[in-house]
Structure 1
Amino acid sequence: MISTYWRFLFALLFISNICESFAINNISIQPNESFDGLGKQIQFLEDTEHQLTFQEILSPKYQSLFKYGKQEIPTYGLKDLTLWVKIEIEHFDQFETPYVLEIGYPTFDSITYFILQESTIIDEGFLGDRIKFSEREIRHKNFIIPLELNKGNRTSIYLKIRNKGSIILPISIKTKEQLFAEDISEEISYGIFYGIMLVMLLYNLLLAFSARSISYIYYVGIITGNLLTLSALNGHAFMYLWYDLPWWANHVIVFGIGLWILASNQFALSFLETKKYFPRYHWVFRFMKLVAIVIIILAFTADYSISLKVANYSLLINCLVLLFSGIYFWSKKVKVAGIFTLAWSVYLIGVLLYTLRNLGFLPVTSITSHVLEFGAIAEVILLSVSLGYKYRLLETDKKAAQENAMDLMAQSQKLVQEQNEELERQVSLRTAELEQKQEEILTQNEELNSKNESLLEAQQIIKAQNTKLKEYTDDLEAQVAKRTSDLESTNAELAQNVQKLEQYAFMTAHNLRAPVARLLGLTHLLEISPDTEKSDWLDIISKIKEEGDSLDSVIKDLNAILDLRKEVEEDKEWIDLSRTLAQTKRILKNSIELSGAEINFDNSAFNEIECNPTYVDSIFYNLISNAIKYRSSKRKLKLMIGTKIYKDKKIISFADNGMGIDLEKNKDKLFGMYRRFHTHVEGKGLGLYLVKSQMEILGGKIQVNSEIDKGTTFTLLFPFT
């Protein structure tokens, strides 16, 4: 008995649940009644293979697979599927007013509909943005299906929806009168939106021509991209503009997004002046411009589903790039970056919410459906404000620069006035002196005229002689000035020669002191010990010979240095550097072959130089032989000789990969006489000293850059001739 009771109770609950479910999902229409957001009251079947026919859908097998929706406005994101929709309507009274089924998403590629009453198809048709707008039965931006609801009948509606973009299903049933009545307020809002965008477009276009600023043109491109995309998404562009161009209607959304990304990044480049102030950040915007161009090309060449996905994700990334760029430039104290960042942050919120809705991550609400329009309005207004603010700053800077220029002009005029006054004063003094002299001459003339008229001829002669004397005086002053200049140049040259003679005297005393002292010591040994054994004598004599050779080498080095001081201007000639290098290679042939050195010469900048050939041969010889001597034992020697012209200098560089020099330790000693930094090879430490001295005599310079175990580069700077 108890068991039967529980069975009865469970049966009642089961029947109650079924009735409740049926009550929720059933669509029962009374006259003048309307339904919005029917997602939970209609059924859906996903055909991922795109193969099901309407006859198959009517079979019990597939009828059992239909499921009721879980949202009032179902969204399927960017899934590649064919969606079947089943709508069951019960109507028990006579409907005098015609009803319609509205699908409020105007970008579907194709909608095939079938209307059945009493299992008989009473109407069928095809809708979508693949056919001309003028061929629609009811001219509306959304897809409208007319319904005939007869008394006591049950009507079944089947929709076969195929779309390569997002699938969003805001489905409603209402009277035709209600359809157009509800459109009034919505169309007014859209009219305000388009009006604001068009006004901003025309206003900034006029500013672009009046202010002659390219930034306004880029800004107009942003507004145009927004208008193209949003008007196409809302169905107004297809309804009013290209109603007979369905091909363009299916590509304009991706094209508009690409245009918007291209214009926004070009605007950011121009507005923030990244090439001038942030060259390292410049490539980010250039990369996004390249992405925009790819999107525009894909809009006309790639499959719509692919190009739309690329455009949506690129749009989101582009907004993030612009937002973080604005924040970065704001942190760098760029004045206009604040409003720029605010504009993109507002628009980014709109793009983010709208994109997430299209991808199926957010539900369809009035906010997610229209947030893009609000974001676009805020963006264009704030960007327009930022442009105005920027040009106000430019005008302020221009005004400050003009005021500064006026101050400088005033100072200049004051200086010119003072100079004119001084000149007038000097002219007045000179005029007074001349007038005084003229009066004296007139007095003398009067006296002479009173004494003898015959002196008139003598006066004329004197006057002519005075003229010649003045010319002679002027010429003498010019000669004295020239002679003074020559004497100053000679004195400077004498002072330089005296300094060089003092250095030479110091070097002579310093370099000869040691070998002479050793020679004196050895001869003194011979005087003190005359009975020294023969072998010791021979050792002493050998030492004396060594010191004599050392003294001879020092004297030869000093003579070589003296030779550097000779006049080189008369010995200048045009030298073929390739020939000089070839000659040096011939001299160092054995050393080059033994070391396995690789010597390369880049003479693309120049191959000839007007100079003293002996000095150039010596410089090439010393630098190449040093590179061979001090090569690294860890790698093959590579010596690169390069040429370059910079301003008024001809530059020859010798770069090797040898042992290198510790410049921090030896920088002040590098070009000293008898300075050596590696003792594992023979040498006197005179080569770099000679090179530096020769370059100074030639009027040039030598520079060195070196790292231990990496190599050394000597740079020779010759005066341009």
Structure 2
Amino acid sequence: MIINILLIRQNGKTIQKNQDILNTSQEIIINAEEIVEILHLIDVGIRGYYISGNKFMYKSPADSAKRRIEKTFNFLDQELDNQFYALEEYSMVKDTVNYYFKLVSEIDQALENGNKEKAKNIILQDQGYPVWLIANSFSNKLKEYELNIQKKATYNFQRAVNTSFWLQIILFIIALPTLLYAARYAVQSLGLSEKLRVVESEKSNILKEQKEKLERLVRKRTDEILAQNEEIRAQNEEISSQNDVILSQNEEMKDSQRLIEEKNEELTLQNDILNKAKITIEKQQKLLELKNEELTEEVAKQNKNLKETNLELINQINKLQQFGYIVSHNLRSSTARLLGLSNLIDNTSGSERENIIELMKQSSEDLHELINDVSMILLIQKPITKILEEVDIRETISKVKNILKNEIDNTSAVINESYQNKNKLKSLPLYIESIIYNLISNAIKYRQKNLNPQIYIKVNDFQNKLKIEIEDNGLGIDLENNIDKVFGLYKRFHFHVEGKGLGLYLVKTQIDALGGKIEVESKIGRGTKFTIII
């Protein structure tokens, strides 16, 4: 029945839906025909305006036509889209009608401006009739389309009505057996009620008999329970006597338990002593392991220091061998020159003898200077035993600039300085001064011809050390072929100025003595840059 009711409700919705379709379709036909009427109305109005010259005869129907055509198109836009009508033809008709309305507006404007000739030319073209034909043809086609929709909706409407009628009949047919069954069920219920009354009466009698039997059984069971209670009382007395025996045995067991607990306490105390001893042994073992690790690290450290010392010693030996070779070579050259000149002096006289004496003096001075250089190099290479002092790099550079003032002024040299945070360190003032002096002096000495020296000095921090950069725009050094000779003793790379090739060697030796390092970057004709880290 519920399903039947739902079907009737759904069928009612179908009837209403098809009724709405019929109403909408009829309105669409009316609106399509109204387009034709509106075109006729606007055409008659504009022609009447042209003939009579009375705009009022045109104004009222024109305004009405514009309102009606706009309303009509708005209605058709929505309803034809809902019907999934092919909108291409409709859009063409709409555009054509709107075009004709614009054309009518042009005629109106021409008449308004007094240009009746223009209005006449447009009216004689008779463009309204083709538009009317297109609109009329569209109206007929749309009417035919809507009639088909109405026919289909009418069929569906009638079928839904018939279906609703038969569903009502089916509902009646379904309900009739239900009513008959309900009547039969009521009769049966009355019969069952009478039977239930009889059964209840019989049940009451049976319960009464069962109650009497139960009372007799209860009295019998009560007598049995009293007899059992007497027997249990006798058994309790026997159990009580046995409990006394058990209590005495428990007292003996408590004494034994007490002795066991005392023994356990002694064992616990001994275990605590053993645990403490074990902890002490473990601590001592850890201390031994720690000592062994420290000894191992110390041995490894000593071995590392020993290796480094051996390497340094080997390096010093190599340097001393090289230094000894160079010094012996230079001493041998100077002494050989002196010996040769002394042998010649006995066989000469006059001005030639004086020339030889002058040469001997010059050789002696060269020998003396060589010995001074050797002494100075040996003094630098000795381990530092002097107390380190605080050295202000800014003040040291200023002092060196004063020493080289004549050279700076004569060459118009420009020294640019840059300091970042740290510019002081603990070191040997004479070594730092000598290093900076030699590098600035070389930058001025080995300048490019016809180019004023430009020297850039930058001082900043570098990994908790002091970093000094000295860069110039001088002649530069060919590092590709002379990288191993830059800091060599008596090594020179430019011979157009005086020099002995000792300055960079002294710089390197002094930096090594201070535990620092020096790096060089240079290109021929583009200057040199020395980076010192102390």
With the length of structure 2 as denominator, give the TM-score of the two structures. 0.46
Q: What TM-score, normalized by structure 1, do the two folds share?
A: 0.35
Higher radius of gyration, 1 or 2: 2
In terms of fraction of residues, the more helix-rich structure is: 2
